[in-house]
Structure 1
Amino acid sequence: MSVKEVVLNAVTALFVQFDPEAARDLLVPGYIQHNPMVPTGAEAILGVLPALKESGLTAQVHRVIAEGDLVVLHSTYDNAQAFGAKTQVAFDVFRVADGKVVEHWDNLQPLAGPNPSGRGMVDGAVEVTDLDRTAENKALVTRFVEDVLHGKAPQNIGNYISSESYHQHNPLIADGLEGLGAALKALADAGQVMRYDATHMIVAEGNFVFTASEGMFGETHTAFFDLFRVEDGKIVEHWDTLSEIPAQMAHENGKF
């Protein structure tokens, strides 16, 4: 199986079929968990499957990208009160080795929106294209992260984001560079400065590039998981989830 197939089969066993035996075959016993609320190890997640099934949890995967041993899913979980809200939008990242899932990171945010441009948190383009431009697109987003998100040269934002078509799926931000600028100014005026301090992961496949970062949102230590779609050398679409990084976790693996 491909790494995508391994992960999708594992997610189906866990969150569609709620089948611990099928899932156990796809997770290593020492499964490394980075969700702050779930203990590490395969048995911890397998043990909550009956409760998740009873809750009526459903999962819908909207986007899948993979690079090397990492697979990123962009999904919606409904009846997800066990995860903190009735409907949660999530990025899940899985690491695969020898045909099994060995590590998991995620970032969940309650569904909100539509945003001022009428876009939802999970709608938009889904098809992976331009596989021959994966390295080029990853390099573009990497430079964007360094210059704009990390603040090295924010004035260069026009080198990275399309001035003609930039579809925004953050529930608080409108389309276009103007919408992004207005939102950032409003946050700054309210004392809610958003700061990216470190980017721990960049995963790219074709026209999609995913990043996992941490920083501050106001006074809150925050995880920022972002997905960018690139077209003709510019970022043209963006999805994200933001979640607080708690000081206390159910394991010692950290958020990242």
Structure 2
Amino acid sequence: MSENSVAERNRELVLRGFKEFAAGNVDILRTLLREDFVEHSPGNPSGRDAFVEFIANSPVARSRLDLKRIVADAEYVVVHYHMDTGDGGRGHAVVDLWRLVDGQIVEHWDVVQPVPESSDVPNGMF
């Protein structure tokens, strides 16, 4: 399989998973994550089952997720989105970086940043 077709397959896999998760299907993660999944975010557990349980009980599972962009290569998929937790605030800008091997997610990194007043970001967060 060419590098471009692997990148497109991984992009579509993560995009489908993002859409399912955003619609409330936390269990989609069980099909996407490899059992020995490695998490790099502080405080989040590694391992598929521990990570899914953690995420199911976190604010992200109850948030509105508005996808802004997705970028992929043969090994990594990057997702940039607006997470609105419904608390009346401006939400968070989130970038997730997923590493895939053989059609499954094996590693994850993220960057989460509160969305400031629009006057503080003249070019916008998204």
| TM-score normalised to structure 1 length | 0.41
Q: What is the root-mean-square deviation of aligned Cα atoms in Å? A: 2.7
Counterpart position of 1:96: 100
Alignment of 1:163-182 (within 5 A): none
Aligned residues: percent identity?
Answer: 25
Partner of 1:60: 66
**Is 2:7 the partner of 1:4?**
no
Could you say if the C-alpha distance between residues 87 and 54 of structure 1 is closer, same or farther in structure 2, counting changes exceeding 3 Å? closer
Aligned match of 1:121: 125
Q: CA deviation at 1:57?
A: 1.1
Report how many aligned residue pairs link the two structures. 118
Q: How much has 1:35 moved relative to structure 2?
A: 1.1
Task: Summarize the Cα distance change of 1:42–1:88 in structure 2 as closer, same or farther, 3 Å threshold.
Answer: same
Q: CA shift at 1:39, angstroms?
A: 0.8
Q: Which residue of 1 aligns with 2:25?
A: 18
- Structure 2 gap ranges (5+): 1-7
Distance 2:80 2:124 in 1: 13
Give the letter aligned to residue 102 of structure 2.
D
1:80–1:98 distance in 2 versus 1, CA, 3 Å? farther
8 Å Cα contact 1:80-1:88 kept in structure 2: no
CA deviation vs aligned residue, 1:24-70 (integer Å, no higher than 9, x gap) = 11110111101112111111221135434797311111011112211
Q: Could you list the per-position Cα deviations for residues 216-244 of structure 1 after superposition, in whole angstroms to 9, with x for gaps in the alignment?
A: xxxxxxxxxxxxxxxxxxxxxxxxxxxxx
Gaps of 5+ in 1: 123-256
Whole-Å separation in 2 of the counterparts to 1:53 and 1:32? 21
Q: Is the contact between residue 24 and residue 62 of structure 2 (CA under 8 Å) also seen in structure 1?
A: no
Partner of 1:180: none
Structure with a larger share of its residues in helix = 2
- Work out the CA distance in 2 between the residues paired with 1:54 and 1:101: 18
Indicate conservation of the 8 Å contact 1:18/1:50, yes or no: no
Q: Are the aligned partners of 2:76 and 2:99 in contact in 1 as well (CA < 8 Å)?
A: yes
Tell me the alpha carbon deviations over residues 157-208 of structure 1, each in whole angstroms, 9 at most, x when there is no partner: xxxxxxxxxxxxxxxxxxxxxxxxxxxxxxxxxxxxxxxxxxxxxxxxxxxx
Higher relative contact order structure (alpha carbons within 8 Å, sequence separation ≥ 6): 2
- What residue number does 1:44 align with? 50
Specify the alignment match of 1:239 in structure 2.
none
Secondary structure (helix, strand or coil) at the match of 1:4 reads: helix
